[in-house]
């Protein structure tokens, strides 16, 4: 009888699945052996493999023209990373008839408010391979792009997202796009709204310290989980077709406490290694609520309320939310800009 590790158990025995949070081909290969059903890339992860392992990207460094503008050079370099991952996942994509086997390719985070540029990039990325999930930030502008992508059959991962109102807005706009596609008789793509649970916790921890809020570290560690559990319940209640994608996990608790949900968990290699160790509890815990007293303490922080309440923010406020600005800056400064600066062969 086959003995399943925790990650394989999750995929085979629960509705929860997981994607590899790394653009490195060797790490992708290892993750696939343990049951991964997709790959998350972003500008930081792409920069990390291009700069850290130039020997495996020699062809890309040689083929991309030095004469291209910096932004297009970065896009071309990223296309090599994403397309290699897409090729590795293509058998899974084909065998599941498009349900799984996706690889994320993220638009330039510097254009988070530019509808026309993001739409043009989305169409280019979609043409790279049939199993590309175009990554858009959850801003008001990108929600318009997301709906148009859904109407054109382009699969989207909605990233730079931390809150209940953001994922609800994504799910609603995806449904609108699906309706447009179906009325036009077009094929439809999938949609994966991200919840960066660890990045929300990181932000709230700083806010709590600054304001001397009466919350414990154990409360902060449950903030992102509270948002994910509430989002999951609302998605089930409303029958959304989008599938939630928790990311930025800070420990195995972010995964084990959501096990049993119809979700995709974006999981970095260091978290995968911990989950493969013996003794990880195999229990479906998605329906276990966050304790009421924890929620009450967290609600003394106004930013948690904005993240937790379904109407906590309007789409026009998404781009100004603290974690949004921090993450966009990180993706630009520690990701896309570094790819632009790579010396070509």
- What pLDDT score was predicted for residue 71? 97
**Count of C-beta atoms within a 10 Å radius of residue 281:** 9
Percentage of the residues of the chain whose pLDDT score is greater than 90: 97
Helix, strand, or coil here: 134? strand
The answer to the question of residue 22 being in a domain is: yes
Identify the domain containing residue 295 by its residue range.
6-335
CATH number of the domain that residue 288 is part of: 3.20.20.70
Closest CA to 195 of 219, 220, 230: 230
Q: CA 337: distance to chain centroid?
A: 20
User: In the chain, how many domains are there?
Assistant: 1
Q: How far is CA 232 from CA 204, 223, 235, in A?
A: 21, 14, 5
**Residue 343 included in any domain:** no
Q: How confident is the model at residue 41 (pLDDT cuts 50, 70, 90)?
A: very high
**Structural domain includes residue 243:** yes
> Is position 257 within any domain?
yes
Confidence at residue 345, expressed as pLDDT on a 0 to 100 scale: 74
Is 83 a member of any domain?
Answer: yes
pLDDT at 13: 95
Six-digit token string for 221: 């560690």
Q: Is the pLDDT of residue 1 over 90?
A: no
Q: From edge to edge, which strands make up the β-sheet containing 132-137?
A: 245-247, 191-196, 156-159, 132-137, 102-106, 38-40, 17-21, 264-267
Q: Is residue 32 part of a domain?
A: yes
* Residue 1 within a domain: no
Helix, strand, or coil here: 264? strand
Give start and end residues of each alpha helix (H) in 53-114: 58-63, 70-95
pLDDT digits (tens, 9 = 90+) for 91-133: 999 999 999 999 999 999 999 999 999 999 999 999 999 999 9
Q: Is residue 345 part of a domain?
A: no
Q: Where are the alpha helices (DSSP H) in 96-139?
A: 115-126
């Amino acid at each position: 009888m086959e003995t399943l590790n925790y990650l394989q158990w999750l995929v085979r025995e629960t509705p929860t699945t997981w994607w590899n949070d790394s653009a490195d081909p060797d790490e992708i290969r290892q993750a696939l052996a343990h049951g991964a059903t997709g790959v998350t890339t972003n500008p930081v992860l792409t920069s990390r493999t291009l700069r850290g392992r130039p020997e495996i990207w020699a062809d890309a460094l040689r083929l991309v023209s030095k004469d291209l503008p910096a932004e297009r050079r970065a896009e071309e370099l990223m296309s090599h990373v994403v397309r290699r991952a897409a090729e590795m996942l293509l058998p899974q994509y084909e065998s599941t008839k498009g349900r799984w086997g996706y690889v994320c390719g993220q638009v330039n985070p510097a254009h988070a408010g530019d509808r026309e540029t993001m739409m043009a990039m989305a169409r280019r990325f979609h043409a790279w391979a049939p199993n590309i999930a175009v990554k858009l930030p959850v801003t008001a502008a990108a929600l318009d792009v997301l709906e148009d992508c859904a109407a054109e059959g382009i699969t989207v991962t909605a990233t730079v997202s931390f809150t209940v109102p953001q994922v609800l807005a994504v799910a609603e706009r995806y449904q609108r796009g699906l309706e447009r596609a179906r009325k036009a008789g077009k094929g439809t793509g999938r949609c994966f709204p991200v919840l960066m649970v660890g990045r929300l916790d990181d932000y709230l921890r700083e806010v709590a310290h600054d304001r001397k809020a009466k919350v414990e570290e154990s409360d902060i560690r449950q903030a992102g989980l509270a948002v994910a559990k509430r989002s999951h319940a609302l998605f089930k209640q409303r029958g959304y077709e989008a599938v939630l994608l928790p990311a930025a996990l800070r420990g195995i608790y972010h995964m084990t406490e959501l096990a049993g949900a119809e979700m995709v968990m974006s999981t970095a290699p260091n978290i995968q290694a911990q989950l493969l160790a013996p003794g990880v509890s195999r229990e479906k815990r998605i329906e276990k609520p966050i304790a009421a007293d924890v929620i009450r303490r967290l609600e003394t922080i106004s930013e948690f309320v904005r993240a937790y309440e379904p109407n906590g923010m309007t789409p026009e406020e998404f781009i100004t939310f603290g974690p949004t600005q921090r993450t966009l800056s990180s993706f630009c400064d520690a990701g896309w800009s570094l790819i632009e600066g790579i010396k070509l062969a």
